[in-house]
């Protein structure tokens, strides 16, 4: 690991003042479950670490009639076990409690989870975010078994790694950021972006900004939700595909739907096609399967990841069935 400067500010204004104008100037340290590994592998090499763990204003979970506020430093285990999250947002509790491993859930923060870097083995082995050599993609012509099937027109072929972000996006969450010009709030769906060149990152986050809160509005009356993952083994593993679904019911039929997939595209993938396919219909094996088919209608294999198309379709179908049969959102 390269040498670096370590700072531990006590206020968020101090924290952003210690961040630089470029990514290699400094990085934010919260739980460190992703960043420290990247530094040890020399994938990122910041000159300074800005430890934000002493910023109490970035902690806490509170619920009101308007919705839920989650401080960026709250760990995944704290979110999954919080009584208010369990009662009002059971899908979020499920997604946070099923992410990674118990050891990681006890240190990984929700802010860090939103900002974690892709698990793409090209990126993790130092070939860059887009893994380009001589103007050609190493991913497209190489081992792409776990890469994107949607939003993969290029040059980005990695997949968004968070299993919690799709659940939050299905709930229409937003993220609050703080920088030198003060706070700003971004719909979480818009926080994730597909980079077009190696100098860009996959988040709408500037080098001198920090994540402070996640805001989740109250679910609509009558809403039901479910989160479904498909992975190779039940123990700690990265999913092949996930689906998070929020259905607003009108009796036995779907009045409105939100369907968000992950591990299938460079960003959490909001499937308007799947939502439209199920809206106005009664949920059944057939209609859920039709929605799953609509979700992957525009999917494209890169050569070695065709299996992910079928798995993503199944994840959407099963999430819809579970949401219709399960507890309220």
Beta carbons of 33 and 104 less than 8 angstroms apart: yes
| Non-local CB neighbours of 281 within 8 Å, separated by 6+ positions | 253, 254, 287
The torsion angles phi and psi of 243, rounded to 5 degrees, stand at -140, 135
178-192: average pLDDT: 97
Give me the pLDDT at residue 54, please. Answer: 95
Provide the CATH number for the domain formed by 56-115+172-217 in this structure.
Answer: 3.30.465.10
End-to-end, the C-alpha distance of the chain in Å comes to 44
Give me the pLDDT at residue 102, please. Answer: 83
* Length of the chain (residues): 329
Q: What is the DSSP string of 290-323?
A: HHHHHHTTT----SS-THHHHHHHHHHHHHHHHH
Give me the pLDDT at residue 222, please. Answer: 84
237-251: average pLDDT: 92
168-187: average pLDDT: 98
Please choose, from the candidates 123, 132, 106, the residue with its C-alpha nearest in 3D space to the C-alpha of residue 33: 106
Label residue 99 by pLDDT band (50, 70, 90). confident
> What are 36's two structure tokens?
């420290």
Residue 268 CA to residue 262 CA, distance in Å, equals 5
Give me the pLDDT at residue 141, please. Answer: 87
Domain boundaries, the chain: 56-115+172-217, 125-171+220-329
DSSP 8-state secondary structure symbol assigned to residue 142: S
Beta carbons of 165 and 211 less than 8 angstroms apart: no
Secondary structure class of 187 (helix, strand, coil): strand
Residue 214 CA to residue 217 CA, distance in Å, equals 10
Helix axis angle, 307-325 to 285-295, nearest 10° = 140
Q: Is the peptide bond before 155 cis (omega within 30 degrees of 0)?
A: yes
Give me the pLDDT at residue 98, please. Answer: 87
The torsion angles phi and psi of 130, rounded to 5 degrees, stand at -100, -5
The torsion angles phi and psi of 171, rounded to 5 degrees, stand at -85, 5
- The CATH class given to the 125-171+220-329 domain equals alpha beta
| Non-local CB neighbours of 226 within 8 Å, separated by 6+ positions | 91, 94, 244, 245, 319, 320, 322, 323, 326
Give me the pLDDT at residue 220, please. Answer: 87
> What are 249's two structure tokens?
């019911």
Q: Whose structure tokens read 């946070």? A: 96
Express as a percent the part of the chain with pLDDT over 70: 98
**Element (DSSP H or E) covering residue 139:** helix 138-141
What mean pLDDT value characterizes the chain? 95
Secondary structure class of 165 (helix, strand, coil): helix
- Parallel, antiparallel or unpaired: strands 241-250 and 253-262: antiparallel
User: 198 pLDDT exceeds 80?
Assistant: yes
Q: What is the pLDDT of residues 276-292, one digit of tens each?
A: 999 999 999 999 999 99
Give residue 123's Cα distance to chain centre. 18
Q: Centre a 10 Å sphere on the Cβ of residue 303 and count the other Cβ atoms it contains.
A: 13
Residue 6 CA to residue 315 CA, distance in Å, equals 43
> What are 209's two structure tokens?
């900004």
| Non-local CB neighbours of 56 within 8 Å, separated by 6+ positions | none
- Parallel, antiparallel or unpaired: strands 5-7 and 48-51: parallel
User: 235 pLDDT exceeds 80?
Assistant: no
């Amino acid at each position: 690991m390269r040498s670096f400067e370590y700072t531990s500010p006590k206020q968020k204004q101090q924290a952003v003042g210690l961040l630089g104008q470029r990514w290699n100037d400094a990085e934010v340290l919260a739980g460190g479950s992703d960043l420290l590994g990247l530094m040890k592998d020399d994938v990122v090499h910041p000159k300074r670490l800005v430890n934000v763990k002493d910023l109490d204003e970035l902690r806490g979970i509170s619920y009101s009639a308007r919705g839920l506020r989650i401080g960026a430093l709250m760990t995944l285990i704290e979110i999954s076990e919080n009584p208010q999250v369990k009662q009002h947002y059971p899908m979020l509790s499920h997604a946070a409690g099923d992410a990674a491993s118990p050891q990681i859930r006890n240190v990984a923060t929700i802010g860090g989870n939103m900002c974690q870097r892709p698990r793409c083995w090209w990126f993790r082995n130092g070939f860059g975010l887009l893994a380009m050599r001589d103007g050609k993609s190493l991913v497209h012509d190489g081992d792409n078994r776990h890469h994107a099937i949607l939003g993969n027109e290029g040059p980005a072929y990695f997949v968004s790694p968070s299993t919690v972000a799709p659940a939050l996006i299905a709930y229409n969450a937003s993220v609050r950021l703080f920088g030198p010009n003060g706070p700003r709030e971004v719909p979480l769906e818009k926080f994730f972006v597909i980079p077009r060149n190696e100098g860009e990152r996959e988040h709408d986050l500037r080098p001198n900004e920090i994540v402070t809160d996640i805001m989740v509005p109250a679910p609509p009356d009558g809403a039901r939700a479910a989160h479904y993952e498909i992975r190779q083994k039940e123990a700690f593993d990265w999913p092949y595909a996930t689906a998070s679904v929020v259905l607003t019911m009108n009796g036995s039929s779907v009045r409105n739907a939100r369907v968000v997939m992950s591990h299938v595209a460079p960003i959490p993938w909001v499937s308007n096609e799947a939502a439209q396919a199920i809206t106005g219909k009664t949920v059944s094996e057939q209609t859920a399967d039709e929605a799953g088919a609509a979700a992957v209608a525009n999917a494209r294999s890169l050569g070695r990841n065709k299996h992910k198309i079928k798995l993503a379709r199944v994840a959407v179908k099963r999430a819809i069935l579970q949401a219709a049969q399960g507890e309220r959102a």
